[in-house]
Amino acid sequence: MSALTLIETAKALVADDKGLLAMDESNPTCNKRFAALGIPQTHEARRAYRELIVTTPNLGECISGLILYDETIREAKKDGTPFLKIIVDAGIIPGIKVDTGAKDMAGHPGEKITEGLDGLRERLKEYAQMGARFAKWRAVITIGPGIPSRGCIEANAQALARYAALCQEAGLVPIIEPEVLMEGEHTMARCCEVTEEVLRTVFDEIYEQRVMLEGLILKPNMVLPGLACPQQEVVDVVADATVKCLLHAVPAAVPGIAFLSGGQSGELASARLDAMNVRFRKRLPWALAFSFARGIQQPAMEIWRGQETRVHLAQEALLYRAKCNRMARRGEYPAAMKGNSTASASRCDASSNLVSTN
């Protein structure tokens, strides 16, 4: 696979002020979110919900890439049209989550290690043949008393780098997602310290594993105080801390940084991304984009609740949040979107989504 193809795909994922929509929840995570809203936890309900997403009219105007899950990439619309065809016809690049989940790490109470390297080369080959052009792997770092440990950070960073090398070998752009979780009482300063250490370690390993920086996308958390921290910070302070942290740790050759939403409400995630672009866009080496799951999907799922009659309304809510984030990439979110009546309908109930178990 030529390096040029990887570079072009990575650039395309952050081009034109678009971003990624993650719809790669594993079945247990998808079922959990359905259960919270009284939606049946069946294969058909998951298929119908994912059909709602991929058939949202004009989604390709705001979304460059869709991250799928193994069940979803093989799925089809009720009329038999494969999801992959619908996605490509909409001008959207299909991608696939390839880790097999964050598991308890032996000898490291309270910490997780992401699994999925065994057999990965073969799985990547199959996904590439099916039409996927990028992949995703999520590592999870928890902040708490005495954690994260170096052992956990290093093991996860090495797994991310080995995954990334295998992706590039298969012609897939790796989305590298080391997520420092929001859960906890820690301050924003502590989140900044941990995020910087994690990112520096990840990029050290990426260098050791000979991964091409121009052919990857970083998907980090924003730098935020823990959810239970008494001192929460205003949007501009979060924007400044996040960009400063990234400037310390992310090489300029990386084409794009696409944030995860991590349990923030859709509106806050957009406002924070917007503030970063308002304040820094012209001075940064990489594009600051989005790769949200809950931050885009949650209002749509709440409207849909498994009812076929609500599909159109849910699609409007999904497209609305996708548009908000495109505006946030331009630093035009508040002026263009605040006061729009759909905003209240698309409010994300953060309290119902605090635990990310993707």
% helix, strand, coil for the chain, step of 5: 50, 15, 35
Residues whose CB falls within 8 Å of the CB of residue 280, separated by 6 or more in sequence, listed in order: 239, 243, 288
Position among 96, 246, 260, 327 found at the interface with ligand 13P (CB under 6 A): 260
Position among 92, 227, 293, 328 found at the interface with ligand 13P (CB under 6 A): 293
Q: Residues 177, 179, 196, 302: which is the catalytic one?
A: 177
- Binding segment for ligand 13P (CB under 6 A), chosen from 82-90, 184-192, 255-263, 300-308, is 255-263
Give the shortest CB-67-to-ligand 13P separation in angstroms. Answer: 6
- Binding segment for ligand 13P (CB under 6 A), chosen from 70-78, 164-172, 259-267, 330-338, is 259-267
| Interface mask toward ligand 13P for 142-181; x: CB under 6 A | -----------------------------------x----
Task: Reply yes or no: is the peptide bond before residue 148 cis, omega within 30 of 0.
Answer: yes
Residue whose entry in the numeric block shows the structure tokens 């849910």: 314
Give the shortest CB-28-to-ligand 13P separation in angstroms. Answer: 14
Query: How does DSSP classify residue 138?
Result: E
Residue with Cβ nearer ligand 13P (68 or 287): 68
Comparing C-alpha atoms, which of 92, 24, 105, 101 is closest to residue 62? Answer: 92
Residue with Cβ nearer ligand 13P (69 or 109): 69
Residue with Cβ nearer ligand 13P (53 or 309): 53
Cβ atoms 223, 179 nearer than 8 A? no
Q: Please give the structure tokens belonging to residue 112.
A: 């997780």
Residue with Cβ nearer ligand 13P (6 or 260): 260
Residue with Cβ nearer ligand 13P (44 or 178): 178
- Catalytic residue check, 219: yes
Integer Cα distance of 99 and 83 in angstroms: 21
192-251: contacts with ligand 13P (CB under 6 A):
none
Indicate whether 138 belongs to the interface with ligand 13P (CB under 6 A): yes
Indicate whether 14 belongs to the interface with ligand 13P (CB under 6 A): no
User: Between 188-208 and 235-249, two packed helices, what is the crossing angle to 10 degrees?
Assistant: 30
Integer Cα distance of 353 and 269 in angstroms: 14
Q: Residues 219, 267, 302, 323: which is the catalytic one?
A: 219
Number of residues in contact with ligand 13P under rule CB under 6 A? 12
Indicate whether 94 belongs to the interface with ligand 13P (CB under 6 A): no
26-65: contacts with ligand 13P (CB under 6 A):
none
Indicate whether 134 belongs to the interface with ligand 13P (CB under 6 A): no
Integer Cα distance of 208 and 206 in angstroms: 5
Please state, as a whole number, how many other Cβ atoms lie within 10 Å of the Cβ of residue 254: 21
- Binding segment for ligand 13P (CB under 6 A), chosen from 37-45, 47-55, 153-161, 292-300, is 292-300
Residue with Cβ nearer ligand 13P (56 or 261): 261
CA angle 53, 299, 236 (to 5 degrees): 115
Residue with Cβ nearer ligand 13P (66 or 239): 66
Give the shortest CB-161-to-ligand 13P separation in angstroms. Answer: 18
User: What are the Cα distances from residue 3, in Å, to 6, 165, 214, 216, 304?
Assistant: 5, 12, 9, 11, 42
Comparing C-alpha atoms, which of 131, 147, 152 is closest to residue 184? Answer: 147
Residue type at 243? V
Q: Which residues pair with 63 in a beta bridge?
A: 19
- Catalytic residue check, 18: no
Indicate whether 19 belongs to the interface with ligand 13P (CB under 6 A): no
Give the shortest CB-290-to-ligand 13P separation in angstroms. Answer: 8
Comparing C-alpha atoms, which of 51, 83, 26, 131 is closest to residue 318? Answer: 51
Q: What positions carry a catalytic annotation?
A: 177, 219
Which parts of this chain interact with ligand 13P (CB under 6 A)?
22, 138, 177, 260-262, 292-295, 356, 358
